[in-house]
Chains A and B, each alone.
Chain A
Amino acid sequence: MAAAAAAGGPPWRKVLYERQPFPDNYVDQRFLAELRKNVRARRYRYGAVAFQSGAVVQQLCSVCVFVLTWWYMAAGRLSPQRLFGAALASSLLGYVLFDAVDRGAGRRQSGRTRWADLKSTLVFAAFTYGFSPVLKTLTESISTDTIYAMSALMLLGHLIFFDYGANAAIVSSTLSLNMAIFASVCLASRLPRSLHTFVVVTFAMQIFALWPMLQKKLKARTPRCYIGVTVLFALVALAGLATISSVSAVLFASLLLAISCLCPYCLIRLQLLKDNIHGPWDEAEIKEDLSRFLM
C-alpha cells in the first residue's frame, strides 16, 4: 500500500465516496494534525478569582450574622427594639447609598419610583406585624431538634442555590431567598414574644434580600470599596462568633480564608492539568443567527 502511495499515484484524500487504491482505514502522516488541546481554556488571574470569591464570603458571613443575631435575641442579650433601630438605620443608609453609587442611573433604567418602594415596605411591614402572633405559635408543638435541623437544611440550601454570578442551571435566586425566609420563620417562632418574631423576620428580609442587591451594585461600580466592605463584614462576623465560642470562630476564620485564598490558588493550579481535546469530530454548533429562516 505504501508502495502504491510512493508510486506517485493520486494522493490520499480523506473521502470515502471515491474508490481509492488505499484501504478504508488508511490515514497518512497528517493523522491527528487537526487535534487541538484546551482551545477554550481560560487563563485565570489570581487577583480576579479572589475578588470574585468575595461573593461567597459575603453570603457565608450573612448567614453567620443572622444566626448570631437570633442567638443573642434568644439568650436575651439583645433587645428587639435595639435591633429594630439598628436595622432601620442601616437600611436607610443602604438605601441612600444604593442610589448614590451610580448617581441614579439604575433607578432611571428600571423605572421604579420611590413611592413604589415605600409602598412595598409598608406592605410587608404591616403583613409581618399582623401575622407575627400566628407565626409565633406555628411551631409550638414541634420539637426543638426538628426546628434546628430544618433551619440548618434550609440555610444550606440557600447557600447552594444562591446566584453568585455563575451561569449554571442549578442557580435559582427565588428558591434561595425563599429557603432563607422559611428558615428565618422557623427560627423566629422559637423566640419568647411576637415582637421578637417580627423583628427577626424583618431583619432576615433585609440581610438576605436587600444586602446582596447593594453588594452587587458596589461590586460593579466600586471594586475597591467592595473589597473593604467584605473584609469589614467578615471581621464583624468573626468578632461576634468569638464572643460565643472561640473554637467556632477559629473554624469559621479558616473556612473564610480557605474560600478566599486557598480555593483560587487550587483552581489556577488545576487549570494547568486541564486536557481537553477538540477536533473535527466534535458536535457541530450553529453559530450564526437562524432567525432569518423564520417567516
Chain B
Amino acid sequence: MVLKVFFPSCCASAESGILIGRWICEQNSAVILAVVHFPFIPAQVKQYLSEVQRVTKVSVSVLGSWSNSKQEKEESLSEFLKDLGTIFSHEPWIQISKEGDSKFWSCSTLQKHTSNPEEEEIIFVYYDQCKVMLSHLHPPLDTAASTDHKADDASKLSAIFDTVARSKVLFMTDRYDEGPIKLTHWQSDGVEASIIVELLKQASVPACMLLAFLLSLVSGICRSRVLKFWPLSFLWSKLSTCEQLGHRLQHLQVISSTKNAQNQTQLMRKANIFVSLLVDVALGVLLMSWLYRKNRIGHLADTLIPVADHVAEELQNLLQWLMGAPAGLKMNRALDQVLGRFFLYHIHLWISYIHLLSPFIEMILWYVGLSACLGLTVVLCILSDIIALLTFHIYCFYVYGARLYCLKIYGLSSLWRLFRGKKWNVLRQRVDSCSYDLDQLFIGTLLFTILLFLLPTTALYYLVFTLLRLLVVIVQGLIHLLVDLIDSLPLYSIILRLCRSYRLAAGVKFRVLEQQDGKPLRLLMQINPLSYGSVVQTYRLPTYSCYPKDSWSSLCKKLFLGELIYPWKHKGKKQ
C-alpha cells in the first residue's frame, strides 16, 4: 500500500532531528507535527510525548528521523539515525533525508515485522500547519446523497485536520523556552499573541457578567405580572416591535452567557449574533443621526396627517364610485346605498380621530425615533406597525365585507340545498334528501331569491376591500422580509470567508509539484474554501419565521368562501 507522509511546510528547512506526529494506521499515513532536534535524551522525549498525549488525547509518537545535511551524505549519521529506530520502536520507521538545497528528498522505511520486504511507494504531502490548525472542515451538506466513497474521504480528511487542531498545546513551546526539548513547528519562531486580543479577553469577562445582570433585570420586569393583564398582553402579542425586541433580547442573552462555546458551531453562532447586532445598531444610529438633523422628524410629522387625509379621501371617492354603477355592473340600489353610507360614516369617524391626535404626533414621533438606537430592525418593525395603525380602517372594512360575504355564501349554499329538497347530514358528512314542511319551503325559497339577487352587490364590496387589504399585507410582508434578512444573515461568517477563507474549509485540493524519477511523489495540499451559498446556508441564524401559512390553492379557496385570511404565521394585526 502507498505510504502517505503529511509534512508541514515550515519544517522543510529545519535542522536534523527526529519526527514526531501521529500514525493513522487505517489510512497508512503519517501526520508529522514537529521535529525534535539534537541533542535530546530519549527518556525525556518519551515523557514529554506522554504528557502531550495525556493533555491532547492525540496519540503522538516518534515516527522517524529527519536529516537535513548541507554536505554529502555522512555514513555515520545515517547509522546513528538507524539506531534511533531501535530506541523509539515504531512500525514503520520513516527516514527522510534532504541533501543540500535540493527539492527532491529521499525517503525510506524500515519495516521490522513484515514478511514481504517489497519497496513501498511513498507520497509526500506538504501542508500549511497554521492554516490547517485554524481551519474547520465542513462535512458535505447533502450527506444523504453522498456515496460511501465520499463519506470515507471526508472522514479521512477530518482525521488529519483533527490531529493538527487538537495538538495545539504542542505548538505552544517556542525556541525561547528553556525546556529540555527543542522543537520546530510553525510557531517555533515565537508564539503569536496580540495585546489587544488579550486585553479584550480579560475585559470581556466582567463586561459579560454586567450585561447578564442587566438582562436578567430587564427580562424580570418583562415577565412581571403587571404586564400580563388581558388588554396589554393582547397588544404586545399583536405588535411586531415587541417580538423583534424579544428576539434581540434573546440574542443578547446568548452572547452574554459566561459559559465558553462548546464547539465550532456555537462559537460561530455567537460571533454571528454579535456582529449582526453591532451592524444593526450602527445602521440604526446612522439613521437616527440623519433623522434628527435639520428637524426631519418635524417634517415627517407634518406630512403624516395630510397623507392620512389623502388616503381617506381616496377611499371616499372609491365608495362613491361603488355606490353609483361601477364598471357598468347592475347593483341593487337600496343595498348599495346602505353599505356605502355605512362605510362613509366609518371613514368620517376615523378622520376625526386622526385629527384629534394631530397635536401630539410630533412629540410621539420624536420619542419613537429615539428607539432607533436599538437597531435598524426595530425601526423597520415600528414602521410596519405605524402602517398597520394608519390603515386600520381598511382592515375594519375588510372584516365587515368578508363577514357579510361569508354569511351570504353560507346561507346561499344551504338554501340551494333546500331548493332542491336536500339537506346536509352532519353525522354522515354528506347531502341527503329531506322532506320539508310547507312553511319552511316557502320562507326558504323567498330568502334564497333575496340572497341570490343581492349577491353581486355584496361580492363587489368584498372584492374591493379584499384587494386593498391584500395590498397593505404585501407591503407589511416586504418590510418583515427585510427585517428577517437582517436578522438571519451570518455577517461574521461571510467576512471570515472573505478575509480568511482557509478557516471555513469544504475540502482540500492537491497540486502536483515537480517530480523526479526515483524520488517519491510530491503533492501540495491546499484548502478549498466553502462557497458563499453554503456559508450562508450553514450559519444562518434562526428567526421567528414569517412564512406564508397557506398554499396558493387554499388561499384562493378561503378568498372565494369569504373566510378571513391571516397570511403570515405569528403575524397579527392591531386590534
Whole-angstrom distance between the alpha carbons of A140 and B419 in the complex?
23
A285 to B18, CA, bound (A): 104
Write out the residue numbers on chain A whose beta carbons fall within 8 Å of the beta carbon of B441: 174, 177-178, 181
Instruction: Scan A126-147; emit 1 where CB is below 8 A from any B CB, else 0.
Output: 0110010011011111100000
Known: A141-B330, A174-B421. A120 touches B438 (CB 8 A): yes
CB pair A181–B450 under 8 Å, yes or no, is no
Given contacts A141-B330, A172-B421, contact A120 B446 (CB under 8 A): no
**Number of B residues contacting the other chain (C-beta, 8 Å)?**
25
- Chain A contacts of B334 at CB under 8 A? 134, 137
Do most interface residues of chain B lie in helix, strand or loop, or is the interface mixed?
A: helix
Is the beta-carbon distance between B449 and A138 smaller than 8 angstroms? yes
Smallest CB gap from B422: residue in A: A174
CA distance A135 to B450 in the complex (A): 7
Q: Of residues 411 to 455 in B, which have CB atoms within 8 Å of A's CB atoms?
A: 418-421, 435-439, 441-446, 448-450, 453-454
Cα(A267)–Cα(B449), bound, Å: 40
A124, A135, A173: which contacts B443 (Cβ < 8 A)? Answer: A124
B34 at the interface (CB under 8 A from A): no
The residue from B435, B443, B453 contacting A138, defined by CB atoms under 8 A apart: B453
Is B348 an interface residue when CB atoms closer than 8 A count as contact? no
- A218 within 8 Å of B by Cβ? no
- Chain B residues with Cβ under 8 A from A156's Cβ? none
CA distance A186 to B448 in the complex (A): 12
What are the interface flags for A205-226 relative to B under an 8 Å C-beta threshold, 1 for contact and 0 otherwise? Answer: 1000100000000000000000
Contact A181 B442 (CB under 8 A): yes
Asked if A182 is an interface residue, CB under 8 A from chain B, the answer is: yes
Give the shortest distance, in Å, between A54 (CB) and chain B (any CB): 23
Q: Are B435 and A174 in contact (CB under 8 A)?
A: yes
CB pair B442 A124 closer than 8 Å? yes
Complex contact B421–A181 (CB within 8 A): no
Interface of A is mostly: helix
Tell me if A137 and B332 are in contact (CB < 8 A). yes
Q: What are the residues of chain B within 8 A of A137 when measuring CB–CB?
A: 332-334
Cα-based distance from A208 to B438 in the complex (angstroms): 11
Between A178, A181, A186, the greatest number of chain B beta carbons within 10 A of the residue's beta carbon is seen for A178
Q: Is A123 an interface residue (CB 8 A)?
A: yes
Task: Tell me whether B453 and A139 are in contact (CB under 8 A).
Answer: yes
Write out the residue numbers on chain B whose beta carbons fall within 8 Å of the beta carbon of A139: 453
B360 to chain A, nearest CB (A): 47
In the complex, whether A185 has a CB less than 8 A from a CB of chain B is yes
When distances are taken between beta carbons in the complex, the residues of chain B under 8 Å from A201 are 446
**A141 with B439: CB separation less than 8 A:** no
CB of B331 within 8 A of chain A?
yes
Task: Determine whether the beta carbon of B439 is less than 8 Å from that of A124.
Answer: yes
Cβ of A175 within 8 Å of any chain B Cβ, yes or no, is yes
Interface pair A120/B449, CB less than 8 Å apart: no
Task: Mark each residue of chain A from 160 to 193: 1 if its CB lies under 8 Å from any CB of chain B, else 0.
Answer: 0000000000001111011001100110000000
Q: For residue B444, which residues in chain A have a CB less than 8 angstroms away from its CB? A: 178
Pair A209/B453 contact, Cβ less than 8 Å: no
Given contacts A137-B334, A138-B332, A174-B420, contact A181 B439 (CB under 8 A): no
Q: How distant is B458 from chain A, measured CB to nearest CB, in Å?
A: 14
A181 to B441, CA, bound (A): 9
The answer for the CA separation of A38 and B174 in the assembled complex, in Å, is 119
Q: Which residue of B lies closest to A139 (CB)?
A: B453
When A174-B420, A174-B421, A174-B441 are in contact, do A140 and B333 touch as well, CB less than 8 Å? Answer: yes
In the complex, the answer to whether B450 meets A120 with C-beta atoms within 8 Å is no
Would you give the shortest CB distance from A43 to chain B, in whole angstroms?
A: 34
Contacts of B420 in A (CB 8 A): 172, 174-175, 178
Task: Tell me the complex Cα distance, A232–B136, Å.
Answer: 105
Q: Is the CB of B439 within 8 A of A178?
A: no
Do A123 and B439 touch across chains, with their CB atoms under 8 A apart?
A: yes
Closest residue of A by beta carbon distance from B329? A141
Interface string of B325-369 (1 = CB under 8 A from A): 000001111100000000000000000000000000000000000
**Residues A134 and B439 in contact, CB atoms below 8 Å apart:** no
Cα distance, A201 to B330, chains bound together (Å): 25
Nearest-neighbor residue (CB-CB) of A127 within chain B? B443
A-B contact pairs, 24 of them (CB 8 A): A120-B439, A123-B439, A123-B443, A124-B442, A134-B450, A135-B446, A135-B450, A137-B334, A138-B450, A138-B453, A138-B454, A139-B453, A141-B331, A141-B332, A142-B453, A175-B419, A175-B421, A178-B420, A178-B445, A178-B448, A181-B442, A182-B419, A182-B445, A209-B442
Q: Report, nearest first, the 3 A-B pairs whose CB atoms are least far apart.
A: A174-B421, A141-B330, A181-B445
Using A124-B439, A131-B446, A178-B419 as known contacts, list a sample of 6 further A-B pairs with CB atoms less than 8 Å apart, ordered by residue number in A: A123-B439, A123-B443, A131-B450, A137-B332, A174-B420, A174-B436
